Amino acid sequence: MTSKDGVLTANHWGTYRAIVENGRLVDMRGFEEDTDPSPIGQGIVDSLNAPTRITEPMVRESWLLHGPGAQTDKRGKDRFVAVSWDKVEKLVAQELTRVRRDHGDNAIYAGSYGWASAGRFHHAQSQLKRFLNCSGGFTSSKFTYSFAAAEAMIPHVLGSYREFLNTTTGWASIAEHGELVVAFGGIPMKNAQIDAGGLGVHVQRSGVEKAIAAGVEFVNISPIRDDVIPETQADWVPLRPNSDVALLLALAHTILTENLHSKAFLNRYCVGFERFEEYLTGQQDGVPKSADWAADLTEVSAETIRDLARRMAQSRTTISVSWSLTRQDHGEQPFWAAIALAAMLGQIGTPGGGFAFGLSALNSIGTDAPLLKGGSVPQGENPVKDFIPVSRIADLLLMPGESLTFDGETLTLPDIRLVWWAGGNPYHHHQDLNRLAKAWEKPDTIICNDWCWTPTAQRADIVLPCTTHVERDDICISQRDPYILRVRKAVEPPQNVRNDFDIFRGIARQLGLEERFTDGKSAADWMREIYEKTVYSDGKTGDLVSTEATRDAPKQNTLVLPEWESFCARGWFKVEMPATPRIMLQAFVEDPDANPLATPSGKIELFSEAVQGFGYATCPGHPTWFSPYEWLGSAAPDELHLISNQPTTKLHSQLDQGSVSRAGKIDGREPVRLHPADAKARGISDGDLVRLHNARGACLAVACVTDAIRQGVAQIATGAWWDPDETGMCRHGNPNAVTRDRGTSDLGQGPTAHTCLIRMERYDREPPPMRAFVPPDIIPFDEL
């Protein structure tokens, strides 16, 4: 591929042709197959050689002079010293050896959460975990910030979460057979710009448009009106944030009391409805979960609730629950309650009906693309069994030796002395960043692989500079996307920058583990092996067959790919799409005896004996309403409920320094949206600099006054690089300066960022200068 045509490259926000002139990246053009490319990819162009780029290995000055644990309160403030690769490899190898010898293998934490790279080989966390497993193991993390509560809860209800996330009934079935989509948390098209593992073409907008053209109606249940595209002409139900469960229960109560529920479905495919019914009708606690009861909690009228319940019962209905619903206090409950409601409607497993875990949460959710099991770099066996739920990292660092309940287990938190982060930014994902900053002072050593000076890199002791996706070859395979991509290096990286494989290979060499880490393979060898191990992931296809004879007469269900050389020459391959639309749980509904769920009963568990047996007051054995720890139902008159949702102009915090993300800011800061009545009550006008604050912290943002936000709610996107002043106030607009760091419940221990009350006021002082994109002071080693 010539530079005129562009070099094929890809990341989580899509596939592009990188345009290079005189060795420099000048443009990122959408892949020729993609009719709706995301603009986010363009953000790499001016970021690649910006001042935020890390071009040499770095060591924090105090750590280098005084050793591990030195002046940890200076992380984020100290100077860095540029060192050679030989020097830094020896330092890292010595520190790993010291920590393992003196404190044990579980004193190393490498949860390393984040979306590092769409490439199957140059995936930072996989490389890190393989390396550490080769040398003794590490304390790990479990689940994701996106939907941790569901990952813990739904296996008790359906037997699996990921299986049904990956097999959500698609838009084609909804368009052909559906009549109504009720979207709790909306169907935000901005989220559909991305996909784990990369994507070939963006299909969500066309999927929604086909449903609209077919006459499907939409209901948007969200505090944010534009959580669906305007073409849907969706009915907007602007409920109080965090009251979704109350509304779901009231819809179920109406369907029950008006005898609109499917007794046949409940009897054949579910267990425990009788216990759930006792709760709905108030036999347990004396409180019927009626529409009148929910009206007070949700501020949605009882008549609206009853009308919606009847409409759902009379239509072929899909209930979509956004991933954001899990990121609130008791985030286990919304998905469970939605499944119970769908079961009562009796449409699970039918074309265009049932429930969906977040339509448009990613580009691939709600598509019919074949499920692929791509090869990957084997991480090996981790001999350390200690782990934490992913969002409990501050607890881990602050409370060594203490216990934590989680999904029927009691975990003991190990004493972490070394943290290694590769391909992520906890100062984006985590809540209550001032608390995290205190926790961050506890380890002796923090190592970070990154290509730019994120807040995490600035607060590390050792920084290992790595390449970006446009500076290396790779292979992209997403489980739910039909495109397999052979992406190529478009430009050379800076001289002293390495890919993660070479970074870990060098350190492994110092430890005498190079052969064990590389398995004697080059990067090119690994990529070819990954390609040749790619199969359908339904368990029925066997190994990849690549002979000419088999291509002439392929076995049924066998994935047949082009020969490696042919694939590399073209650069991409599209797997054939299935002939029929996917319908989630169809096989189970057609024959539940032959296709039981992986639950104790083999059925949908509306009451779980296992969960009830855990004895958690915070998560009993059936869907339950809990008042959130912070919400408008108990707020002071001047408080607002803060929604910190996903950004439109970047993936999480990636490329926040780039042109696309900066174009979405106002005067360099994040916008915060609020209702005109709330703005007027506070003397705030559109474009004013405002301060959001509570007892946990504060941040600055720029007010955007709009009636697309429910009154009493403020909305700011996540992803602004944390930029605290001396008081801990983020000058740049990171909402996790004010969110609470508390788990969803004893069951899931997921993040609860969307349960957050704040106060907002106009900031009339001189705006403080921002330093989010200012790199730390750096000195050469010979000037130390």
SS (HEC) of 46-82: CCCCCCCECCCCEEEHHHHHHCCCCCHHHCCCCCEEE
Q: Where are the alpha helices (DSSP H) in 214-362?
A: 244-257, 263-269, 273-281, 291-298, 302-314, 333-345
Q: Name the token pair of 440.
A: 């961050």
Q: How many whole angstroms separate alpha carbon 759 and alpha carbon 234?
A: 31
Burial class, 580, CB count within 10 angstroms (exposed 0-12 / middle 13-18 / buried 19+): exposed
Say if residues 647 and 190 touch (Cβ distance below 8 Å): yes
Place of tokens 């074309």: 351
**Pick from 758, 757, 752, 694: nearest CA to 728:** 694
Count of CB atoms situated within 10 Å of the CB of 212: 17
- The rounded distance, in Å, linking the Cα atoms of 13 and 690 is 31
Q: Amino acid identity of 612?
A: Q
Q: Which helix (H) or strand (E) holds 462?
A: strand 462-465
CA distance 580 to 191: 26
Residue type, 483: Y
Tell me what percent of the chain is helix, strand and coil, each rounded to the nearest 5: 30, 20, 50
Which pair of structure tokens corresponds to residue 219?
Answer: 């209901």
Residue 631 neighbours by CB under 8 Å, 6+ apart: 240, 241, 242, 243, 329, 641, 755, 757
For tokens 């707020």, what's the residue? 635
The token duo for 102 is 């003196």
Active site residues: 113, 115
- Cα–Cα distance for residue pair 78/745, rounded to 1 Å: 38
- Residue 419, beta-bridge partner list: 109, 446
Nearest residue to 339 (alpha-carbon basis) of 427, 410, 269? 269
Q: Which residues, listed in sequence order, are joined to residue 224 by a DSSP beta bridge?
A: 709
Report which residue type is found at 420.
W
